[in-house]
A and B are shown apart, each in its own frame.
Chain A
Amino acid sequence: MRDLINFIIRFSSWLVFAFYVTLSCILLFNHNPYQHHVLMTSANSVSASIYGIANNVTSYFNLRSINEDLQLRNAALETEVVALRKQVDDYRLREYADSMQVAEPLQQFGFVIAHVINNSVSRPYNYITIEKGAADGIRPEMGVVDHSGVVGVVNVVGEHYSRIISLLNPDFRLSCKIKGSDVFGSLVWDGINPEEALLEELPKHTVYNPGDTIITSGYSAMFPEGVPVGTVIKSASADDDNFFTLRIHLLTDFSQLSTVRVIDNKNIVAIKEVENSDLHKDNE
Chain B
Amino acid sequence: MLRTIIDFILLFIIMVTAQAVVFNHLVLWSVAMPIVFIYWLIRLPVTTGTNTTLTLAFLLGLTVDICSDTHGMNALTCTLAAALRLPILRLYFPREEDLTDPEPSVRSLGSGIYMKYLFTFVTVYCIMFFIVEAFTFFNPLRLVMRILCSSIISFVIILAIDSLIHSRREKRL
A binding-site residues for B, Cβ under 8 Å: 12-13, 16-17, 20-21, 23-28, 30, 36, 39-42, 44, 47, 50-51, 54, 118, 120-125, 127, 129, 163, 170, 190-194
Contacts and interface: CB of A to CB of B under 8 A. Distances in A.
Interface of B: 17, 20-21, 24-25, 27, 30, 33, 50-51, 54-55, 57-58, 61-62, 65-73, 75-76, 79-80, 83, 132-133, 136-137, 139, 142
Given A13-B51, A20-B57, A47-B20, 11 more contacts: A12-B51, A16-B55, A20-B75, A23-B72, A23-B75, A24-B61, A28-B71, A28-B132, A30-B71, A41-B69, A125-B136
Q: Is the interface of B mostly helix, strand, loop or mixed?
A: helix
Given A20-B54, A21-B76, A192 B33 contact: no
A24 B68 contact: no
Contact of B69 (A12, A17, A122, A125): A125
A246 to B, nearest CB: 19
Ranked nearest first, the 3 interchain pairs of A and B with the lowest CB-CB distance are A27-B72, A191-B137, A28-B72
A24 B79 contact: yes
Contact of A20 (B33, B67, B79): B79
Contacts of B133: 123-124
22 contacts: A13-B50, A16-B51, A17-B79, A23-B58, A24-B75, A24-B76, A24-B79, A25-B72, A26-B72, A27-B65, A28-B73, A36-B71, A39-B66, A41-B69, A50-B21, A118-B20, A124-B133, A125-B69, A125-B70, A125-B136, A191-B136, A191-B139
A120 B24 contact: yes
A57 to B, nearest CB: 9
Nearest to B132: A28
Contacts of A12: 51
A216 B70 CA distance: 28
A122 B27 contact: yes
